[in-house]
A and B are shown apart, each in its own frame.
Chain A
């Protein structure tokens, strides 16, 4: 485990805080003084993983920089639900321009700050998976290869949720979306498509790349804080379940994020200059079925006409991640 492990205080590392911990041992989210960078009243759906992830990331960034953060947001759920004119949920300087140009605008803000000699103010770009993986991908790659001083964060909910749950380049195989229906021999999204932007970011050999989920708060905060210790382009890919788009119970958001890691479907790791440096190992391994069943987007794999063959292919994807990143618990390899 890369971040500081909390020894037995009943709950240890996994909860946000604990009355028995010294204040400095508590996560940012456990502190009454957290900045609440995105405040109440936003119009995200009940149980939104992205709203949660954005607060986790930005509050940690605010704490790491002493409150000197500018956020640049691509178009997407996060932008729409937080800023219906004239209201704003943002409690930090925040810019929005277009769907495809978030990384370019963030790079521009960083350049402007440099021109004004304000190297104390840091820039965080953020977008959903649509704005990162598909529409903003060109500008993101440009930001990476120029090594612009921006932390770019992708909140990955595996589809275009704001416009009605369409498939993106981050939608996993077999998942149902508005344009990948449960029809034909291989229902849902096709196997063999899509891409991993964390691995692409690593190919740019930028200083720091990491993945995280909203289920492991301390891991996420540690990675944001660590990202802020680097200058240059950094990329953080946060897995954020979407109750609406996935057909999941709003209460299951954190649980699904946890299961995505514990099944091996979403590998959680860190990389520096193109090399993987740390992986978060699985703590209690479960088969992918446990992750798939609570989501209606996978309902066609179960029920009256189950497709164990497709579940097995998804399990094979998880197993490949486990082998590739070495995700098994220590002693179980």
Chain B
């Protein structure tokens, strides 16, 4: 070809120059563990379901299905979970934690409104599993086992399913319509529920099934020895809450004292107010900051006019009157009696000192180990007796609905593996997405939306739900406050900031990105400017 004067070469593109050869480190898209997921006792993939919900519209259902992979109770969780996810949320270090619980409630309620269901998508395995107890743990295990194709029978001692979700948590925290809807969805998978079917001899039943999951809970109120006069009116909180649910109104009087500092104590005091007690006073032997009750329960109780008497123990109960001894904390934070006594007027005393498990049904089961009143289990939730697993309040761990649901899921995974003789797939836990791995510059300034509360006057006289839900717009904005810690949410920043056009954006729905290693020089700008810390640099092998 004829070339102009002094020109000897054709024009070429610089793409012939593969600058990737300069690289000593390469950028790799990774997934880190978001702190919310890390903290969730039920093992929910919170970042992932928020990611779906952030899209709005059809995203709510996709998000709900993500929750349902791990937890069959989204609407219940959105009311009763103490949301350790929010405590762990990285956004708390920027402005305020994402209101994960409120979004979960919105998505869960939407599922009930729209009638979304799940199905069993695997062929029946023919294996029969017995679940003892229809509380959160038993129902969760039954759900996960049923979805894996097993035939599940739940035997429940009580007249209705739900366990502590029904007989422990008052209606003003969890509407029974919501509970019924989510329980029914589990039963609709083909789970057999036998009510009023208390198991008294497990050893006899055990051999009729391929595996057993025990989740009988802890429903015996712990008693403390308190000298009491003959006319003293003393009852325990769990029985009181259970009787109320069964339609029996306890007689409490005008002034009610509640002894204990846990969530059940708060529930008992708040229930007493609703039943007409003019005065409900919580007596606790330590200080407010050492009380085991969740902060939101305490705050709501205070709002409702519940009174508190800190650093106090009850030494004597008489008709209409308690004798209280003042305590002081020693250096180790342990309460010590001071010998100073005072009197407190109270028509009744409700004991909320913790719960114990009735383990009589386990007599004669070989290998089973009971320690401190609870059943010992290995990390796979199996007891000392092969094929018998246990979870929920009857095993040694924190007692909450979410923990119980998590036990049910974990037990189901291991029961499934045990039944098929295979090792369960190991749960992958990547490194934590800590706050310093994020580039928070990129997130919008967005203050948190808090859920509205029921009017105070109605809280003192009715059992209507206290915490109300978000409307769609608010729930969507709250979902979008999620920073997606450690995981790509397709903001296109890496694609934008590469000086070498070495990030390829895949042009497809949910398309993500690839690093073009022919041209990536390894500068690390994409890593530094990724808002969620989803890209990391790794040294090249030389």
Contact = CB atoms under 8 A, between A and B. Distances in A.
Interface of A: 7-20, 26-27, 29-30, 32, 36, 39-44, 46-49, 51-52, 55, 82-89, 217, 243, 249-255, 258, 284
A42 to B, nearest CB: 5
A30 B499 contact: no
B22 A8 contact: no
A29 B443 CA distance: 18
A283 B523 CA distance: 26
B496 A9 contact: no
Contacts of A46: 22, 521-523
Contacts of A44: 499-500
Interface in B486-503: 489-493, 495-502
Q: What are the nearest 3 A-B pairs in CB distance?
A: A17-B492, A16-B496, A251-B524
Contact of B523 (A26, A88, A217, A250): A250
Which interface class (under 10, 10 to 19, 20 to 34, 35 or more) fits B?
A: 35 or more
A41 B519 contact: yes
Contacts of B482: 10
A257 to B, nearest CB: 11
Nearest to B519: A40
A27 to B, nearest CB: 7
17 contacts: A10-B443, A10-B480, A11-B443, A16-B495, A18-B490, A18-B491, A19-B490, A30-B496, A36-B501, A40-B518, A42-B17, A46-B522, A47-B524, A86-B9, A87-B12, A250-B523, A251-B525
Contacts of A43: 14, 17, 19
Contact of A8 (B441, B442, B444): B444
B457 interface: no
Given A40-B502, A250-B524, A15 B16 contact: no
B484 A10 contact: yes
Contacts of A87: 11-14, 16-17
B496 A217 contact: yes
Given A14-B442, A17-B491, A87-B12, A40 B525 contact: no
By CB atoms of chain B within 10 A, which of A13, A49, A87 has the most?
A: A87
Contact of A86 (B12, B54, B443, B480): B12
Contact of A41 (B10, B17, B441, B497): B17
Contact of B441 (A26, A30, A258): A258
B174 interface: no
B293 to A, nearest CB: 34
Contacts of B477: 8
B228 interface: no
B499 A10 contact: no
Contacts, number: 168
A253 B496 CA distance: 13
Contact of B13 (A15, A19, A26, A88): A88
Contacts of A11: 442-444, 491, 531
B480 A9 contact: yes
Interface of B: 9-19, 22, 54-55, 441-444, 446, 477, 480-484, 489-493, 495-502, 505, 507, 510, 516, 518-519, 521-525, 527-529, 531
Contacts of A10: 54, 443-444, 480-484, 489, 491
B244 to A, nearest CB: 43
Nearest to B529: A254
Nearest to B491: A15
Given A8-B477, A12-B444, A15-B492, A39 B13 contact: yes
A15 B442 contact: yes
Contacts of B18: 41
A43 B527 CA distance: 21
Given A15-B496, A44-B500, A251-B527, 18 more contacts: A10-B480, A14-B441, A16-B493, A17-B490, A19-B510, A30-B505, A40-B501, A40-B516, A47-B499, A48-B499, A48-B523, A55-B501, A88-B13, A217-B496, A250-B525, A254-B529, A255-B528, A255-B529
A168 to B, nearest CB: 21
A18 B492 CA distance: 6
Contacts of B519: 40-41
A101 B500 CA distance: 28
A82 to B, nearest CB: 7
A8 B493 contact: no
A29 B495 contact: yes
A247 B53 CA distance: 44
Contacts of A47: 499, 521, 523-525
A254 B528 contact: yes
B326 to A, nearest CB: 50
B443 A51 contact: no
B501 A8 contact: no
Contacts of B484: 10
B360 to A, nearest CB: 53
Contact of A82 (B14, B480, B481, B489): B14
